[in-house]
Structure 1
Amino acid sequence: MVDPELLSLLIGNIYDAALDSSLWAGVLEQATQFIGGTAAGIYWKDITVQGELHYVYNVEPSSVDEYFSKYIRFDPSLTAQFFFKIGEIYNTTNVLPYSEFVETTFYKEWVKPNGWADHLAATLDKTATSFAQFGVFRSERQGLADDDMRQRMQLLVPHVRRAVLIGNVIDLQKEKAGSLSDALNGLDAGVFLLDSQCHVAFSNMAAQALLDDATILRAVNHTLIAVDPDAAQVLRDVIAAASGGDGAVGADGVAIPLSGKPGQNWVADILPLTSGARRQAGAHHSAVAAVFVRKVSMAARYPTEVAARQFRLTPSEVRVLDALLKVSGVPRIAEALGISEATVKTHLQNIFGKTGVRRQADLIKLVAAHARPFPG
């Protein structure tokens, strides 16, 4: 059973980290203990086989450097991670059979030397070419992630996602901002501070521009209302819950879709201001929550994902296909994936059969075509 008070306190600490990024290391330690792991991190990766660790707990800096400088290209889960939906939770066995995983170069040279057995993760945000992730490592003694760990992870992921997104938007630079209002006025994102009835206690200049446009949001008698009826209801519910404390704010508030002009996609992220370091920020305005409104691009899917869905490739076939895009020749693909050359050849033959091409070069051209928005 989860202790409600402990969970609420942890959620509050997560939201405090949205305003003060120096708190993330401590928050990740608490989250690791709560979820049931031994180490954790928040990081991003992209299709150029690069990435960066933003916040970390209990991972040696040398291991981080080794991963991003060398072993990321051998990570068998990297391609599959582009396929998971935002907020979806997955571990190693959701990507490939564990018996195959322990035979990879990645496991033998990086995972096992660190004393880890598994990695439970969730995608926080993604584009066609990159994704941000929250991950918790399991030690060999702890073994593979179980259902209890997944359930505890699920309780935290919506709040971690909200805090990370808002923290990226705010970047308060406290030495330059004399007050919360000064900091918010300097943001490109629209920000509203609301009381429990959705009355607008403060709006920055970008938020006022959104109200003047009245396409996605409007103010009626100083009450903030989303133009879309469904979004309006969710907004009211989440703001009402915010007045009850951090633990009362559910997953619905992570990213509320807002209607907008054709070709645009607007979302609202909500930060409770009712406890912790955030209480002082909201007290001056009698606000219970801050609403951050931002426009996001509707990016195309990762090209390998498109090919995998179109031709119904298996996870093993996708890994071989992705390796083919990065290294040339069956021997190098086999070495990178930790499988035999015969297995690579079998997967390639299956891919050829599904896609209708007969040469590796033609297969590369086929996948590359999915990366062009206007194939010619």
Structure 2
Amino acid sequence: MGDEENVFELIGEIYDAALDLTLWSDVVGKAGHFVGGAAAAIFSKNPIAGTGNVYYESGIDPYYRELYFEKYVKLDPATTGHYFADIGQPIAMADLMPHDEFLETQFYREWAKPQGLVDFVSAVLDKSVTSAALFGVFRHERDGTVDGEARRRMRLIVPHIRRAVLVGRLIDLKSAEAATFADTLDGLSVGICLVDAAGRIVHANAACHVMLDAGDLFSTSGGRIVARDAEIDQTLQQLFAAASDGDVAVGTQGIALPLIGRDGARCVAHVLPLTSGARRRTGVAYTATVALFIRKVALETPSPPEVIARTYRLTPTELRVLLAIVEVGGVPEVAVALGVAETTIKTHLGRLFVKTGAVRQADLVKIVAGYASPLIG
């Protein structure tokens, strides 16, 4: 019961951080300890450019954080795997490569080992064509490698972190006071609607009124907001009612619900409960149980590396070696660049030949070139 109470309290704090971004560092630290790690972060990585950024962190040495993005993000054997992981699914180093092979890497020897780190469990929160945003927890030697319990705990909190992060991108309310909340909402381009447990609208900002008037994605019926898509509407009505019972009752639904207009325009909707924690003040002021966020999204096509990986069913490590062969050169050079033994590269190269049908490294270069975008600029 103690553990259950802890997770309920943590989830409430996660959602509070959606409306007050200054809370995130503390929340990330508590989430990391809950999973069973020494440090944690919400960050992004671009596997193609070898760049990234940390948004919120706890327990990370600033020296090693800067060193990571200056040098080791490109050497991190998990970078490619993180990008191609399914959204919301916990992954550890063992899911990407054998642990013994990981211990051979330059990345482990020079960056992880000096800090006493032995593993890392993460989950993708969101993706674009070029990068992925993740929540990750570092495991110290005293924590041991990632086990089933750590994965279970990640699954408990990641959906809630994802919802809070996505909502936090849309709105930054340092203080959700009743006197200023409506004015703040009305100044946003994102459609925001506050509703009660029955789905009745108690406040909608200007952008949301435009959407309601158009009737393309939503309409009103008896003062209730109704989604044009019947399945989406059923999910929303269930979430509106569930929110009265607190944050955990909302569960994992209502995160990035897909909406498609009659003209093909795409939007996503997010549901944030307002009945617990610091958010309760906002909900009480408007007799609302939920804030519904709606934003337009651009249609993105998969990146060439992602298409290649799917086409030939490559593992993250195989894709990493393939891209390195194209960018760096032969086996010796790739081994140095990735910080592993030449025999390891030869093993992955052999698998690449089998999966792609190539017989020479030059053939692999041609395959990658064939997936490059023909558009310039």
The interval holding the TM-score normalised by the smaller chain is: over 0.9
Distance in 1 of aligned mates of 2:4 and 2:263: 42
Residues 179 and 88 of structure 1: is their aligned pair in 2 closer, same or farther, counting only changes over 3 Å?
same
Residue in 2 that maps onto 1:40 = 40
Between stretches 53-62 and 276-285, larger displacement belongs to: 276-285
Q: Give 1:277 deviation, angstroms.
A: 1.5
Q: Is the 8 A contact 1:273 1:288 kept in 2?
A: yes
Distance in 1 of aligned mates of 2:30 and 2:350: 48
In the TM superposition, what whole-angstrom CA distance separates every residue of 1:156-191 from its partner, at most 9, and x where no partner exists? 00110011011111023669x961111111211110
Residue in 1 that maps onto 2:118 = 117
Between stretches 147-156 and 177-186, larger displacement belongs to: 177-186
Residue in 2 that maps onto 1:3 = 3
In the TM superposition, what whole-angstrom CA distance separates every residue of 1:182-214 from its partner, at most 9, and x where no partner exists? 111121111000111110011111111111121
Give the aligned residue type for 2:22: S
Between stretches 291-300 and 218-227, larger displacement belongs to: 291-300
In the TM superposition, what whole-angstrom CA distance separates every residue of 1:99-127 from its partner, at most 9, and x where no partner exists? 10010011111111111111110000001
In the TM superposition, what whole-angstrom CA distance separates every residue of 1:265-297 from its partner, at most 9, and x where no partner exists? 322111111122211122221111101011223
Distance in 2 of aligned mates of 1:315 and 1:273: 40
Give the aligned residue type for 2:230: P
Residue in 2 that maps onto 1:14 = 14
In the TM superposition, what whole-angstrom CA distance separates every residue of 1:227-259 from its partner, at most 9, and x where no partner exists? 111101110111111111112110012222223
Residues 249 and 28 of structure 1: is their aligned pair in 2 closer, same or farther, counting only changes over 3 Å?
same
Residue in 2 that maps onto 1:197 = 198
Residue in 2 that maps onto 1:83 = 84
Give the aligned residue type for 1:264: A
- TM value normalised by structure 1: 0.93
Q: Is the 8 A contact 2:39 2:58 kept in 1?
A: yes
- TM value normalised by structure 2: 0.93
Give the aligned residue type for 2:20: D
Q: Is the 8 A contact 2:139 2:146 kept in 1?
A: yes
Q: Is the 8 A contact 1:127 1:300 kept in 2?
A: no
Between stretches 345-354 and 310-319, larger displacement belongs to: 345-354
Distance in 1 of aligned mates of 2:357 and 2:80: 22
Number of equivalenced pairs: 375
Give the aligned residue type for 1:197: A
SS at match of 1:90: coil
Q: Is the 8 A contact 1:100 1:338 kept in 2?
A: no
Between stretches 14-23 and 280-289, larger displacement belongs to: 280-289
Between stretches 50-59 and 247-256, larger displacement belongs to: 247-256
Between stretches 157-166 and 297-306, larger displacement belongs to: 297-306
SS at match of 2:25: helix
Between stretches 366-375 and 41-50, larger displacement belongs to: 366-375
Distance in 1 of aligned mates of 2:319 and 2:115: 27
Distance in 1 of aligned mates of 2:336 and 2:321: 11
Residue in 2 that maps onto 1:334 = 335
Residue in 1 that maps onto 2:128 = 127
Give the aligned residue type for 1:20: D
Q: Give 1:334 deviation, angstroms.
A: 0.6
Residue in 2 that maps onto 1:143 = 144
Q: Give 1:91 deviation, angstroms.
A: 0.6
Runs of 5+ in structure 2 lacking a partner? none
Q: Is the 8 A contact 2:19 2:174 kept in 1?
A: no
Distance in 2 of aligned mates of 1:4 and 1:38: 21
Does residue 1:216 correspond to 2:234, yes or no? Answer: no
Give the aligned residue type for 2:304: P
Q: Is the 8 A contact 2:80 2:316 kept in 1?
A: no
SS at match of 2:60: coil
Residues 94 and 302 of structure 1: is their aligned pair in 2 closer, same or farther, counting only changes over 3 Å?
farther
Runs of 5+ in structure 1 lacking a partner? none
